[in-house]
Amino acid sequence: MSWLIFPPILVMFFICVTNFFSIKKPRDVSDISNFVSVIVPLRNEAHNIKELVASLAAQRFLNQVEFIFLDDNSEDQTHSIITSSIAGLNDFRLIQGAPLPVGWIGKTWALAQLLEASRGEIIVSIDADVRITFDAISKSITLMNSTGLDFISSYPRQIALTLGERLIQPLLQWSWMSTLVLAIVERSRFSSMAVANGQFFIVRKRALVQSGGYKCVKAAVLDDVFLARALMKSGFKGVAVNGAEISDVRMYSSWTQIKSGYGKSLRYAFGSNFGAFIAVIFLFLTGVTPLIFTLIGSMWGWISLTLIIFTRFLSAIRFRSRLFDSFFHPISSLLLIYLIFYSYQKRGKIEWKGRAL
């Protein structure tokens, strides 16, 4: 029976190899003539402000640009620090967020207000903990313009230092690198194939507005994925690209933060309870079962485990994470299964940035 796990893992292997060689990467710089609005929602981000502003102020090759920050009723020193940090900087401004309306979550409400305040024809949304190179926005827009796409999700390198981070964070990119052929996603109108990361997201304003703006994802915890789905449903094209060389982010710095972060989102990631059940079965069969069969002496188990770890190698190479951590894939799979169950267990009990979800 051990041979039954081999065919799906072989398919994942070929998908990952295909994406390894074909995934788009922002690499070319050009002077951007489009009017660009860089929008940044802030809530309790005092520790991120100075590096964030320095990163954005260093941007080059943008002929018309505005940087708009929104303080979403922060409870720390965010407002005072951002005010002093952008003082004297041209094209930088801060707006104060309105109270959160019923039916919205904090981030999407902040983005909706930022979109309303923007004047650009291209919207670049960046999370406060993301750091980008001086040419990151130019390279991303150059890629989007040259390929005729309406949006791209430039996936940052995920910095992982603690053991918990190293076991979980690399699964973010690997999960879609090994299951979706991005060249097909780019041309597809099946919104269920959407891949996106809102940490660094570039979209044409007309496409965003015609798709319903952030109002169409006002209650979505996974606003990035659902926004990409809304764009695809409206006939616009986009895809995830490899932004590891132009951006990086450290999402969490402890296992407690990982549990809280994934606890708020994983129950929404698979569309339904049945989808979550399928995801758990998939993770166990492809991530844990090969090790079990290997330990009992199965050749098919050994081959399957080798292939699945090799997919992790390919993902790690592309997104600049530790190759060695790929060997712990069975443990990573078990931990992710645990986080899925935890997310359902904590339903309605999770707080994020001081607000209940």
Give the CA dihedral 171, 174, 179, 185, nearest 10 degrees.
110
How is residue 87 annotated by DSSP? T
Of 226, 252, 278, the one marking the end of a domain is 252
Tokens encoding 40 = 């940044």
Q: Do 339 and 315 fall into the same domain?
A: yes
Number of domains in the chain: 2
Hunting for tokens 């965010």 — which residue is that? 78
Of 252, 278, 311, the one marking the end of a domain is 252
Q: Do 267 and 246 fall into the same domain?
A: no
In the chain, alpha helices (H): 6-22, 49-57, 78-85, 106-117, 136-147, 163-168, 171-177, 182-187, 205-210, 223-233, 255-265, 273-283, 289-295, 299-319, 329-345
Q: Do 266 and 117 fall into the same domain?
A: no
Q: Do 148 and 248 fall into the same domain?
A: yes
Which amino acid, one-letter code, is at 66?
E
Reading the chain (357 residues) residue by residue, the pLDDT tens digits are 678 889 999 999 999 999 999 999 999 999 999 999 999 999 999 999 999 999 999 999 999 999 999 999 999 999 999 999 999 999 999 999 999 999 999 999 999 999 999 999 999 999 999 999 999 999 999 999 999 999 999 999 999 999 999 999 999 999 999 999 999 998 888 888 888 999 999 999 999 999 999 999 999 888 999 999 999 999 999 999 999 999 999 999 999 999 988 988 888 888 788 888 999 999 999 999 999 999 999 999 999 999 999 999 999 999 999 999 999 999 999 999 999 999 988 765 555 566 555
Q: Do 224 and 274 fall into the same domain?
A: no
Q: How far apart are CA 69 and CA 127, in angstroms?
A: 10
**CATH code at position 224:** 3.90.550.10
133: Cβ–Cβ under 8 A, 6 or more apart, which residues? Answer: 245, 246, 247
Q: Do 69 and 171 fall into the same domain?
A: yes
Q: How far apart are CA 46 and CA 266, in angstroms?
A: 27
Could you please report the per-residue DSSP string of 205-267? HHHHHHTTGGGGGTT-TTHHHHHHHHHHHTT--EEEEE-TTTEEE---SSHHHHHHHHHHHGG
- Alpha carbons within 13 A on the beta-carbon side of 286: 25
80: Cβ–Cβ under 8 A, 6 or more apart, which residues? Answer: none
Enter the pTM of the model.
0.94
Q: How far apart are CA 159 and CA 145, in angstroms?
A: 29
For residue 152, is it left (φ>0), alpha (ψ between -120 and 50) or beta?
beta
Pairing of strands 130-132, 200-204: unpaired
pLDDT of residue 355: 57
pLDDT of residue 43: 95
Which amino acid, one-letter code, is at 50?
K
Q: Do 326 and 261 fall into the same domain?
A: yes
Question: How far is CA 64 from each of CA 59, 121, 246, 264, 315, rounded to the nearest angstrom?
Answer: 12, 10, 21, 37, 35
Q: Do 184 and 274 fall into the same domain?
A: no
Range of the domain at 323: 2-21+256-356
Of 252, 278, 304, the one marking the end of a domain is 252
CA 56 to chain CA centroid, Å, is 19
Could you please report the per-residue DSSP string of 299-323? HHHHHHHHHHHHHHHHHHHHHT--S
Q: How far apart are CA 130 and CA 193, in angstroms?
A: 25
Q: Do 169 and 81 fall into the same domain?
A: yes
Asked if 208 contacts 232 with a C-beta cutoff of 8 angstroms, the reply is no
Q: How far apart are CA 44 and CA 312, in angstroms?
A: 34
Q: Do 108 and 226 fall into the same domain?
A: yes
Sign of CA dihedral 73, 122, 143, 181: positive
Q: Do 277 and 220 fall into the same domain?
A: no
Q: Do 247 and 305 fall into the same domain?
A: no
